[in-house]
Amino acid sequence: MTPPDGSSSLTGPEDASILDVVGIDQLGERIYRFVLANGGANAEAVAARFRIAQADAESRLTGLRMHGLIAQRYGTDADYAPVDPRVAIRVLADSHSDRISRILQTVPSLAAEFDTAISGRGDTDQTQLLSDPDAVAGWYVRLQHQAQHEFMAFDRPPYVSASANPLEPVILDRGVTWRAVYAAESFDGEGNWEEAQRLAERGEQARVAPTLPIKLAIADRATALVSLTLDADRTQALVTTSASLIEAFCVLFEYYWASAIPIPSERADAAAVQATVAENGDLVRTLVPSRNATREEQVLLTLIGAGLKDDVIARQLGISSRTLRRRSQDLMIELGAANRFQAGVEATKRGWV
């Protein structure tokens, strides 16, 4: 049972007022609940209950009245009664929805001002040159927001923003197909491999290539952002909507995608099994290897095939370089391979990678 003192609130897990979006803080919400639970209150009662000055209590009650949550009773200057929240809260929410809609309606004009400031002129070209790191980072975020169907990316250093991408899971949850090819050096940093695996489990289709010539992001095959230099001390990139340029970048992406090694994930493994089981609705008989590769073996083969250095691989797997060499040797003996390239070929034949 809710006590009539405002101690129980509409707050969420972090104890922030759920009404703060309309300008009512936690204390304001508690006062509102106090008036609501008691069927009415005056400034003196509120001041006593919440140990605040009576003038402050009067100001708080006036604020709730201005929001339409309480009404001042007729014939008195200090007594307030609650308005039915089924009406008051809904009207308050609707009024702010209207304000948000008006804000969203200004997006086209604000975007035009932004583009004018970036380009330095009123017209918008198909292709823009970017030399500011913040502008490049901003465009990368913008492309993620724009993507409705497909997002393709080459990931490699140097980076102009944090390598972890908090927006990507949101885009994946929206149903966008996200394909990324990582350069081997992308995993030199601590935790980068774990981050790539986490995103793969969320639905990113990820592969690793020994090296990549550029940094690239393409949204819906309609807008592309591409690096013009890989100099960490100098940022220069191109953003374009030119159909011919984007087609060329898509061909380049598909070329590297076809030869890159998939990053193992449970989601990807399940998709591969489904692909072998069903084709045109019929059961497809497939060659089953003598045993399946363990997750550690899949990761090891992926990193070896991508050309990562032994010390980097050992760090990502959390083992010593000596242990890595022993496990790599054991794996090549089992695969009947004389070198790492042959190990990758045989592992592919067995469906291990």
pLDDT for position 276 = 42
pLDDT for position 17 = 65
Q: 246 and 218: one domain? A: yes
Write out pLDDT tens, residues 280-292.
Answer: 444 333 434 456 7
Q: How far is CA 314 from CA 81, 100, 238, 296, 307, in A?
A: 68, 51, 36, 12, 13
Q: 36 and 140: one domain? A: no
Higher pLDDT, 250 or 161: 250
Q: How far is CA 111 from CA 36, 39, 104, 118, 333, in A?
A: 44, 49, 11, 10, 60
Mean pLDDT of 79-108: 80
Write out pLDDT tens, residues 261-274.
Answer: 888 765 544 444 44
Global pTM reads 0.53
Q: Give percent above pLDDT 70 in the chain.
A: 78
Q: What is the tally of structural domains in the chain?
A: 3
Q: 98 and 115: one domain? A: no
Q: 215 and 121: one domain? A: yes
Residue that finishes a domain, picked among 79, 104, 129: 104
Q: 113 and 97: one domain? A: no
Q: Is residue 12 part of a domain?
A: no
pLDDT for position 272 = 44
Q: 79 and 137: one domain? A: no
Write out pLDDT tens, residues 150-161.
Answer: 999 999 988 876
Q: 113 and 252: one domain? A: yes
Residue that finishes a domain, picked among 67, 83, 104: 104
DSSP codes, 162-175 = -SS-TTHHHHHHTT
pLDDT for position 5 = 53
Q: 233 and 292: one domain? A: no
Q: How far is CA 147 from CA 63, 154, 197, 239, in A?
A: 42, 16, 22, 15
Q: 315 and 205: one domain? A: no
Read off the CATH number of the domain in which 246 is found: 3.30.870.10
Read off the CATH number of the domain in which 317 is found: 1.10.10.10
Q: Is residue 45 part of a domain?
A: yes
Residue 252 has pLDDT above 80, yes or no: yes
Quickly state the pLDDT bin for 180 (edges 50, 70, 90): very high
Write out pLDDT tens, residues 224-247.
Answer: 999 998 887 888 899 999 989 999
C-beta separation of 204 from 172 below 8 A: yes
Q: Is residue 281 part of a domain?
A: no
Mean pLDDT of 81-94: 83
Q: Is residue 4 part of a domain?
A: no
Q: 140 and 225: one domain? A: yes
pLDDT for position 294 = 77
Q: Give percent above pLDDT 90 in the chain.
A: 25
DSSP 8-state class, residue 21: G
Q: Is residue 165 part of a domain?
A: yes
Q: 91 and 113: one domain? A: no
Q: Is residue 336 part of a domain?
A: yes
Nearest Cα residue to 27 out of 44, 45, 42, 49: 49
Q: Is residue 5 part of a domain?
A: no
Residue that finishes a domain, picked among 84, 104, 124: 104
Write out pLDDT tens, residues 37-51.
Answer: 998 899 999 999 999
Q: Which residues contact 308 (CB under 8 A, 6 or more apart)?
A: 184, 187, 316
Q: 135 and 92: one domain? A: no
Mean pLDDT of 307-331: 80
pLDDT for position 285 = 36
Instruction: Locate all alpha helices (DSSP H) within 15-53, ordered by sequence.
Output: 26-38, 43-50
79-82 and 41-42 beta bridge pairing: antiparallel
The range of the structural domain enclosing residue 189 comes to 109-263
- Tokens representing residue 176 in the block: 């966008």
Q: Is residue 280 part of a domain?
A: no
C-beta separation of 219 from 151 below 8 A: yes
